[in-house]
Amino acid sequence: MERDREFGEFVDARALVMRRTAYLLCGDWHRAEDLVQTALTKLYVAWPRVRRGSVDAYARKVLVRAAIDEGRRGFRSRETVVDTVPDTAVAGTAPGDLDVRRALALLPPGQRTVVVLRYWEDLSVTETARLLGRTEGTVKSQAAKGLAALRELLGRHVFEEQR
């Protein structure tokens, strides 16, 4: 009973944040919900030993690993299925017109994951490297390349206005 109550409180407090992070990792709300459900299921099974430690860190690690594993599966189609064909063509957007979420979706998965963990989850280089099982140098490199690509996609004025 106590386990279920504690886990329920954790889910109530963190599920929305986990869903947003999952969305930034995969770029699709439905896939993000699936990733969160997978992560919460694994977290529930491990709850008795995890709750003594850092629950948020463990939940984040399970979520990122689920996203990586899901991305490796070859059966998922990258096309979006629609019921009907639109009457008019959808106008393309200029690179400067992209919002941050769509720009993130255009990054390679490794860069996107590092950028989300470093700048959305506010993890250090060391924490990100440990979570992903990569070296700190790789994390720094992927972060630099990811930010450079985002600058290119979004236009430099967005980043320069923040200084």
Residue 8: inside a domain: yes
6 and 64 assigned to the same domain? yes
In degrees and rounded to multiples of 5, residue 99 shows phi and psi of -90, 170
**156 inside domain:** yes
Are 68 and 99 in the same domain? no
Query: Is residue 65 domain-shared with residue 99, that is, in the same domain?
Result: no
**pLDDT, tens only, 26-62:** 888 898 999 999 999 999 999 988 866 688 889 999 9
Whether residue 58 is contained in a domain is answered as yes
pTM of the model: 0.63
Distance between terminal CA atoms of the chain?
50
Cα–Cα distance measured from residue 22 to residue 7, given in angstroms and rounded to the nearest whole number: 19
Give the domain CATH number at 61. 1.10.1740
Domain count, the chain: 2
Is 82 domain-assigned?
Answer: no
Of the pLDDT bands very low, low, confident and very high (cuts 50, 70, 90), residue 76 is low
Contacts of 119 (CB under 8 A, 6+ apart): 143
CATH number at residue 109: 1.10.10.10
Q: What angle do CA 60, 62, 65 make, to 5 degrees?
A: 105
Which bin fits 91, alpha (ψ -120 to 50), beta or left (φ > 0)?
beta
CA count, 13 A, side-chain hemisphere, 67: 32
Average pLDDT, the chain: 82
Range of the domain at 133: 95-161
Q: Report if residue 84 sits inside a domain.
A: no
> Does residue 90 lie within any of the structural domains?
no
